[in-house]
Amino acid sequence: MPTPLLFLDIDGVLNDRVYLNCPEVRAARLRVDPDEWLGRQCLDIDPSRVRVLNRILDDTCATVIVHSTWRRMFELDELQRMLEMRGFTGHLGGVTEVELVERVESIRSFLSFVQRRGRPVPFAVLDDEDLSHDAVIAPRFVRTGMEPHEALADRHADQVRRLLA
């Protein structure tokens, strides 16, 4: 069976408004050297959400493909390092095309490329933006959110595990 793919957004999946505005995170941002861009930006990633992501990957052996807008600001190795700074134990397998702004289009393009090389690949999509309007993505989509208690949690992880089983 081919390795499953997990398409990952970052904002609204690995953080939410409560986390981003908590006094500890705000204070930590002030302590980081302004020239240390990766160290400062990685503070926007909630380690508790990363632990949930790690459990998903441990259970499914999925390869993570970043489709977040962060893929336009950072190289793949920088994204990997930032996530590792927040406790990530997995491996990023790639990013969707930077030129494709529309998330659905970028995910479909990536899937098309992968599936041309062999049989269909199981996949799931984690995002806070509603992607359920696309017939290919909708059945494989798990929606999170920026509002309190809507970012990646065990209930989302359970859905992803079922999709990748």
Q: List residues bridging with 142 in a β-sheet.
A: 126
Degrees (nearest 5) of the Cα angle 6, 115, 119?
100
Does 132 have pLDDT greater than 90?
A: yes
For each of the domains in the chain, give its residue range(s) and CATH number, in order of start.
5-164 (3.40.50)
| For residue 100, pLDDT beyond 70 | no
DSSP H or E segment with residue 63: strand 63-66
pTM recorded for the entire structure: 0.94
Q: Which residue has the higher pLDDT, 33 or 103?
A: 103
Task: Indicate if the pLDDT at residue 29 is higher than 70.
Answer: yes
Whole-angstrom distance, CA of residue 36 vs CA of residue 101: 27
- Average pLDDT over every residue of 106-130: 91
d(CA 26, CA 30): 7
Asked if residue 118 has pLDDT above 90, the reply is: no
Q: What gap in Å lies between CA 108 and CA 91, rounded to an integer?
A: 21
Longest Cα–Cα distance in the chain: 49
Rounded Cα distance, 8 and 25, in Å:
22
Distance CA 29, CA 139 (A): 38
Please say if the pLDDT value at position 67 is more than 80: yes
For residue 33, what pLDDT is reported?
80
